[in-house]
Amino acid sequence: MEVKLAKTAGFCFGVKRAVDTVYRQIEKEQSDVEDEKKIYTYGPIIHNEEVIKDLEKKGVQVLRTEDALDGISEGTVIIRSHGVEKRIYDKMEAKGLEIVDATCPFVKKIHNIVEKESREGKHIVIIGSEDHPEVIGIKGWVNGPVTVLKTEEEACTFEVEDNASVCVVAQTTFNYNKFKELVEIIEKKSYDISVLNTICGATKERQTEAKSIAEAVDAMIVIGDKHSSNTQKLFEICRGACADTYYIQTLDDLNMNQLRSVETVGITAGASTPNNIIEEVQNNVRIIF
Could you give the CA distance from residue 170 to residue 157 in angstroms, rounded to a whole number? Answer: 18
Q: How far is the CB of 266 from ligand F3S (least distance, A)?
A: 21
Among 80, 50, 75, residue whose Cα is nearest residue 64? 80
Which H helix or E strand runs over 124?
strand 123-127
- Nearest-5° angle of CA 106, CA 17, CA 85? 50
Q: Which is nearer to ligand F3S, 21 or 172 (CB)?
A: 172
CA 141 from centre of chain:
19
Regarding 222 and contact with ligand F3S (CB under 6 A), the answer is no
Q: Is 31 annotated as a binding residue?
A: no
Regarding 169 and contact with ligand F3S (CB under 6 A), the answer is no
Q: What's the sign of the alpha-carbon dihedral 169, 175, 180, 182?
A: negative
Of 3, 6, 9, 15, which one interacts with ligand F3S (CB under 6 A)? 15
Q: Is 187 part of the annotated catalytic residue set?
A: no
Could you give the CA distance from residue 157 to residue 54 in angstroms, rounded to a whole number? Answer: 47
Q: How far is the CB of 157 from ligand F3S (least distance, A)?
A: 29
Regarding 202 and contact with ligand F3S (CB under 6 A), the answer is yes
Could you give the CA distance from residue 18 to residue 32 in angstroms, rounded to a whole number? Answer: 21
Q: Which stretch binds ligand F3S (CB under 6 A): 11-19, 40-48, 86-94, 253-261?
A: 11-19
Q: Which stretch binds ligand F3S (CB under 6 A): 7-15, 48-56, 149-157, 209-217?
A: 7-15
Residues at the interface with ligand F3S (CB under 6 A) = 12-15, 81, 104, 106-107, 172-173, 200, 202-203, 271
Mark the binding-site residues for dimethylallyl diphosphate, compressed into ranges. 47, 82, 132, 228-230, 272
- Just list the catalytic residues: 134
